């Protein structure tokens, strides 16, 4: 049985590989990465490192050859680019006769109105068309996505949001990674959809947890989208990123990430790490790198 993880040198992929190495011998694990030099550390541990570029389908044919179970980690980029890249990967998996595909999707991908949903919806559809047994790991939102806001708070800024009372199922990347590893290395996950979400919280509840972690009251500003964009611009956020950040706030406000459930418990035998513990880890990481 040979397992392969794409994007294995990315933030999530690195954590997935580490989790997998607790389940399977290193010689059963392969990774597909655009730049194999970045995965040299994995090679020295006995993991097979293959070169695979989602923009070059012929490299994926080689990368996926002889693979039984594939974890397709969603790529970065604009929606059009991601759809093209993911389609290339799915088609290559079909040509290689991969027997199982797990895909890191987005919460409620099939119906989601979030602007990030189209590539996930298209990828799920492409996988379904192949007839290959699958698992869709519909990840809600990484708590690490809030790192910039937490850094701002540590520097004395308020927590700024235009998300209103919209709820999010934040969880640590580590939780999502362990769930993915469990599915890829395990059995009984064929043709399953897992909605992976931490406890649903509003921005206010997240900030309350952060206040507890920091031992001080964190000021919070609820603003409209226009004011939010202006504050981000004044904070030095690059112009091209601002519409993206505003759209996330809007999506949260409209309830696109308000998707709960107990699928973490089904896969890990425990709920997602409590948000105050996750925030504490992130704060400690920030302090380590700034001190």
| 205-231 pLDDT per residue, tens | 999 999 999 999 999 999 999 999 999
Q: Which residues contact 169 (CB under 8 A, 6 or more apart)?
A: 107, 140, 141, 196, 197, 198, 199, 200, 201, 257, 258, 259, 260, 272
Alpha carbons 285 and 263: distance in angstroms, whole number = 28
Of 247, 275, 269, 260, nearest in space to 107 by CA? 260
Alpha carbons 159 and 32: distance in angstroms, whole number = 38
CA atoms within 13 A on the CB side of 8: 33
Alpha helices in 103-160 (DSSP H): 117-130, 147-154
Q: What is the CATH number of domain 3-139?
A: 3.40.50.720
What confidence score (pLDDT) does residue 148 get? 94
User: So where are the chain's domains?
Assistant: 3-139, 141-171+198-258+273-291
Cα separations in angstroms, 277 against 111, 145, 170, 238, 281? 31, 15, 12, 31, 6
What confidence score (pLDDT) does residue 138 get? 98
Alpha carbons 17 and 4: distance in angstroms, whole number = 9
Alpha carbons 91 and 283: distance in angstroms, whole number = 41
Element (H, E) at 61: helix 57-64
What confidence score (pLDDT) does residue 290 get? 82
Q: What is the CATH number of domain 141-171+198-258+273-291?
A: 3.90.25.10
CA atoms within 13 A on the CB side of 62: 11
Query: Could you tell me how far CA 291 lies from the centroid of its own chain?
Result: 28
Alpha carbons 88 and 61: distance in angstroms, whole number = 10
Whether 28 and 96 have beta carbons less than 8 Å apart is answered as: no
Tell how strand 134-139 and strand 100-106 pair up. parallel
Task: Note whether 3-139 and 141-171+198-258+273-291 share their fold.
Answer: no
Q: How far apart are the first and last CA of the chain?
A: 45
Whether 98 and 68 have beta carbons less than 8 Å apart is answered as: yes
Q: Is 12 helix (H, G, I), strand (E, B) or coil?
A: helix
Strand partners, 193: 136
Element (H, E) at 51: strand 48-51
The size of the chain, in residues, is 291
Average pLDDT by stretches of 10, the chain with 291 residues: 97 98 97 96 97 97 98 96 98 98 98 97 98 98 97 96 98 98 98 98 98 97 97 94 97 97 97 98 94 70
260: burial class by Cβ within 10 Å (0-12, 13-18, 19+)? middle
């Amino acid at each position: 049985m040979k397992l392969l993880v794409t994007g294995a040198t990315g933030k999530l992929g690195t954590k997935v590989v580490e989790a997998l190495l607790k389940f399977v011998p290193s010689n059963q694990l392969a990774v597909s990465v655009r730049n194999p030099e970045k995965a040299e550390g994995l090679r020295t541990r006995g993991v097979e490192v293959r070169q695979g570029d989602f923009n070059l389908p012929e490299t994926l044919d080689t990368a996926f050859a002889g693979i039984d179970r594939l974890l397709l980690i969603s790529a970065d980029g604009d929606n059009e680019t991601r759809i093209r890249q993911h389609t290339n990967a799915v088609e290559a998996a079909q040509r290689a006769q991969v027997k199982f595909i797990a895909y890191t999707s987005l919460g409620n991908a099939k119906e989601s109105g979030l602007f990030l949903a189209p590539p996930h919806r298209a990828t799920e559809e492409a996988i379904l068309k192949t007839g290959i047994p699958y698992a869709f790991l519909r990840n809600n939102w990484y708590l690490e996505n809030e790192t910039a806001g937490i850094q701002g708070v540590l520097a004395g800024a308020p927590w700024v949001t235009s998300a209103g009372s919209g709820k999010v199922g934040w969880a640590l990347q580590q939780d999502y990674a362990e769930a993915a590893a469990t599915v890829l290395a395990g059995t009984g996950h064929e043709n399953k959809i897992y909605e992976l979400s931490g406890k649903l919280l509003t921005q206010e509840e997240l900030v309350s947890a952060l206040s507890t972690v920091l031992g001080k009251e964190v000021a919070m500003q609820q603003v409209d989208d226009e004011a939010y964009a202006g504050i981000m611009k004044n904070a030095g956020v690059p112009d091209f990123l601002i519409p993206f950040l505003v759209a996330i706030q809007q999506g949260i406000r409209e309830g696109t990430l308000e998707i709960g459930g107990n699928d973490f418990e089904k896969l890990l035998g425990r709920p997602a790490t409590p948000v105050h513990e996750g925030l504490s880890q992130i704060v400690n990481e920030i302090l380590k790198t700034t001190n």
